[in-house]
A = this chain, B = another copy of it.
Amino acid sequence: MPESRSVADAVQAALDAKSKPRGSLGRLEDLAARIAAIRGTEAPGRLRPAIVLAAADHGVAARGVSAYPQEVTGQMLANFASGGAAICVLARCTGAELRVFDLGVASPVAHPAVRDLRIGPGTADLTRGPAMAQDQAAQALAAGRAVAAELAAEGIGVVALGEMGIGNTTSAAALAAALLPAEPEATCGRGTGLDDDGLERKIEAVRTALARNRPDPTDGVATLAALGGFEIGFLAGVAIGAAEHRLVVLLDGFIASAAALVAERIAPGSRDAMIAAHLSPEPGHRLVLDELRLEPLLDLGLRLGEGSGAALALPLLDAALAILDEMATFEGAGVTDAGR
């Protein structure tokens, strides 16, 4: 986005003319400038948001790396479809459209609100070999890029990335450890509520996965195939496609951010379209966001996933755009501009 710097500068000049002290809306002003740069226009207006929520199962769940059994992935997919999950409530609060995708849960859910993009009944156990075949990784990425193109064609302006999959913080921790790179101890956390023994098993699983698969961190697709996550590959594809179509990509927590890192490794510059919604307590999240040079908007101890943190940040994006779009200038409001 070569022209994005000049767009951001023009937006900052427009904000400086608004009837408020220079810079007094802090990060909201940066947000308006960044969104405008992503959209490639000084007047982005207001944007329609969609939450892309992708679910899949993970073979590594058999290693006891989650506080919840694998069956919960499919059960939660049904909960997303019927509107009772947290993300359904939060999507309604913010007026975002919720799109639910099955990339491969062990027990599929037949429901009109769930779109079937299944690659398989879950990944293989990454501690025993690659989580998926290379062509499955390519398939997940391509599916994501296609969905991003569809959303752009529909007039969506902001895509929030959400996920669900028992065991997927282990996959994300392995991907982060491989791609940053970092030690497994630095990228593994308690996920949805692991105890000390569970955390130890998770770190060991990531260590084993890295030793067994020896992914080449300069090859994003191969690393994705090795350490998996059908939903993670799909979200990486959404992020790549969204950047191509100048959609704003709003990251949720650690897993969505790991997908974003995969996207950046495969298509460098994708991060230019990203905004980090919040900081998760998962220790690897800050590392991934630092690598992507993103500063989260919220820090509320959220560790649910589903896109919940992204949904909570959407009103900040809308507020930033509304300020740019609607607020009076010093001149228009007849207010003395001492800061000129």
- A319 on the B face (CB < 8 A): yes
**CB-contact partner of A327 in B69, B71, B84, under 8 A:** B84
Is B333's CB under 8 angstroms from A90's CB? no
- Tell me if A323 counts as interface (CB < 8 A to partner B): yes
Q: Can you name the residue of chain B whose Cβ is closest to the Cβ of A85? A: B19
Interface residues of A in 187-216 (CB under 8 A from B): 192-193
- A332 → chain B closest CB, angstroms: 7
Q: How far is the CA of A281 from the CA of B21 in the complex (A)?
A: 14
Given A299-B299, A322-B92, is A79 in contact with B315 using a C-beta cutoff of 8 Å?
A: no
One of B26, B75, B90, B334 near A319 (C-beta < 8 A): B90
For A193, what are the chain B residues with a Cβ–Cβ distance below 8 Å?
21-24, 339
A20 touches B304 (CB 8 A): yes
Contact B21 A336 (CB under 8 A): no
Residues of chain B lying within 8 A (CB to CB) of residue A71: 336
A-side interface residues, number (CB < 8 Å)? 60
**Does A25 belong to the interface (CB within 8 Å)?**
yes
Residue of B nearest to A311 (CB): B319
Does A267 have its Cβ within 8 Å of any Cβ on chain B?
no
Shortest Cβ-Cβ A-B pairs, 7 listed: A84-B328, A26-B301, A21-B192, A315-B315, A24-B304, A27-B300, A79-B333
Do A86 and B302 touch (CB < 8 A)?
A: no
Task: Answer whether residue A65 sits at the interface, using C-beta atoms and an 8 A cutoff.
Answer: no
Q: How far is the CB of A298 from chain B (nearest CB, A)?
A: 7
By a CB distance below 8 angstroms, the chain B residues around A297 are 300
5 residue pairs of the A-B complex, CB under 8 angstroms, read A19-B79, A19-B86, A21-B67, A69-B338, A72-B338
A21-B68, A85-B333 are known; give 14 further A-B pairs, CB within 8 A.
A21-B67, A24-B303, A24-B304, A26-B300, A68-B339, A71-B336, A72-B335, A72-B336, A75-B333, A79-B335, A84-B332, A85-B327, A89-B326, A297-B300
CA of A22 to CA of B303 in the docked complex: distance in angstroms?
Answer: 10
A25 to B327, Cβ gap below 8 A? no
Looking at the assembled complex, report how far the CB atom of A274 sits from the nearest CB atom of chain B, in whole angstroms. Answer: 18
Interface residues in A285-327 (C-beta closer than 8 Å to B): 297-304, 308, 311-312, 315-316, 318-319, 322-323, 326-327
A300 vs B192: C-alpha distance when bound (angstroms): 27
Contact B82 A338 (CB under 8 A): no
Looking at A86, A302, A318, A339, the one whose CB has the most chain B CB atoms below 10 A away is A86
Closest to A333 in B: B79
In the complex, A78 has a CB within 8 A of chain B? yes
B-side contacts of A25, CB under 8 Å: 86, 302, 304, 308
A78 to B318, CA, bound (A): 25
Judge if A28 is at the interface, Cβ distance under 8 Å.
Answer: yes
User: Is A145 in contact with chain B by the CB < 8 A criterion?
Assistant: no
Q: Is A76 interfacial (CB 8 A cutoff)?
A: yes
Question: With an 8 A cutoff between CB atoms, is A265 at the interface?
Answer: no
With a CB–CB cut-off of 8 A, which chain B residues contact A308?
A: 25
- Complex CA gap A27/B18 in Å reads 33
Residue of B nearest to A26 (CB): B301
Residue among A69, A75, A315 with most chain B CB within 10 A? A315
Using A86-B18, A93-B322, A302-B28 as known contacts, say yes or no to A75 and B315 having CB atoms under 8 A apart. Answer: no
